[in-house]
């Protein structure tokens, strides 16, 4: 009697079928949207399970061995039926779900929404959530998404707009960086001249940058020109986590990194009473969207 350990994986069968049909592991990789070495690895694992060579790799285009061709002929029709069944089931299951689209800036999408996405899905198992990250203000203001997380002051465009997270901005760095520059948790920085600063979109007026943050708090700022800017906030945070410099952190966005010990919070904190993240929607009155908005609001209570 055949045991489960003797059975090949579906992914190895798919890789083998595509390679024989297309005559190339590279073409198979492109069709399956994976790397060529991964296709090769999966075919090797299939050969290990079956106990023999299925593909002659010595010539191009690749051809199945005699045993491999026989095996291919036996599985080809079944594989197509199986893949069609997978696609059909996925379509049927998702087609019955209520789709909720959420538009947010990259930093908020990656560092606030994504860590909560599994719990959100568990709270609404019959909903299909589509996250639309953007860095474009035009995309944000013109978005037809069910829920929009906007950053700034009131938009005045949506039927429902509610302050979500008040803006609080402060420096953060990795523990290793802090040790290197003799900084400790919640240290108040008074001089930025000798610290390597990580910048995001220096000319983007939506966000505080090092220069206007320091100016508002009366902190000495370097006169040297900015040499490099990251074009989205997740890249800035990743660089800070890796100890490349010190960056500005936004309350609510950076919290998980601080809680996990990947970054430490420094001072001073710049707090705004009129700016921050807003949760916006033109569909808050509908039952499905309204429930999701309530869930998000409870997350920041």
User: In this structure, what CATH number is given to the domain that contains residue 292?
Assistant: 3.40.190.10
Residues 58, 178: Cα–Cα separation, whole Å: 55
Query: Which of 70, 95, 120 is at the close of a domain?
Result: 95
Low-confidence ranges of the chain (pLDDT < 70): 1-6, 91-96, 154-155, 202-204, 225, 227
* 112/35 same-domain check: no
* 174/234 same-domain check: yes
At 156 the pLDDT is 72
Residues 52, 56: Cα–Cα separation, whole Å: 11
At 182 the pLDDT is 93
Q: How many domains does the chain have?
A: 3
At 154 the pLDDT is 67
* 104/43 same-domain check: no
* 82/121 same-domain check: no
Provide the Cα torsion 23, 24, 25, 27; round to 10°: -110
How many residues belong to the chain?
Answer: 301
* 52/29 same-domain check: yes
Instruction: State both tokens at 233.
Output: 């906030």
Residue 226 contacts residue 236 (beta carbons within 8 Å): no
Phi, psi of 188 (to 5 degrees): -90, 115
Residue 72 contacts residue 20 (beta carbons within 8 Å): yes
Whole-structure pTM over 0.75, yes or no? Answer: no
Provide the Cα torsion 226, 228, 230, 233; round to 10°: -40
* 170/160 same-domain check: no
By the 10 Å C-beta count (0-12 exposed, 13-18 middle, 19+ buried), 23 is classed as middle
Domain of residue 28, residue span: 4-95
Query: Which of 48, 78, 95 is at the close of a domain?
Result: 95
Residues 257, 239: Cα–Cα separation, whole Å: 13
At 91 the pLDDT is 67
Residues 297, 301: Cα–Cα separation, whole Å: 7
Residues 182, 281: Cα–Cα separation, whole Å: 46
At 96 the pLDDT is 63
At 79 the pLDDT is 81
């Amino acid at each position: 009697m055949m045991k489960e350990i003797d059975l090949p994986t579906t992914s190895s069968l798919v890789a083998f079928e595509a390679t024989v049909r297309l005559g190339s592991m590279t073409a198979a990789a492109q069709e399956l949207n994976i790397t060529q070495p991964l296709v090769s690895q999966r075919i090797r694992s299939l050969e290990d399970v079956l106990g023999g060579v299925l593909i002659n790799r010595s010539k191009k285009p690749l051809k199945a061995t005699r045993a491999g061709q026989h095996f291919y002929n036996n599985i080809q029709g079944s594989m197509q039926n199986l893949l069609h069944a997978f696609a059909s089931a996925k379509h049927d299951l998702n087609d019955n779900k209520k789709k909720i689209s959420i538009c947010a800036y990259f930093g908020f999408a990656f560092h606030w929404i994504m860590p909560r996405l599994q719990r959100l899905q568990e709270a609404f198992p019959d909903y299909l959530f589509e996250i639309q990250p953007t860095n474009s203000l035009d995309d944000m203001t013109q978005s037809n998404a069910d829920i929009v997380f906007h950053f700034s002051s009131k938009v005045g465009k949506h039927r429902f707009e509610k302050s979500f997270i008040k803006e609080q901005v402060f420096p953060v760095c990795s523990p290793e960086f802090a040790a290197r520059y003799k900084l400790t948790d919640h240290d108040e920085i008074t001089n930025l001249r000798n610290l390597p600063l990580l910048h995001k979109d220096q000319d983007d007026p939506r966000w505080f940058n090092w220069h206007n943050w320091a100016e508002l708090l009366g902190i000495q700022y370097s006169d040297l020109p900015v040499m490099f800017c990251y074009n989205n906030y997740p890249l800035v945070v990743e660089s800070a986590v890796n100890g490349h410099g010190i960056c500005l952190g936004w309350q609510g966005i950076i919290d998980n990194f601080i809680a996990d010990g990947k970054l430490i919070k420094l001072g001073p904190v710049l707090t705004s009473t009129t700016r921050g993240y807003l949760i916006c929607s033109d569909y808050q009155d509908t039952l499905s969207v309204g429930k999701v908005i309530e869930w998000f609001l409870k997350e920041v209570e």
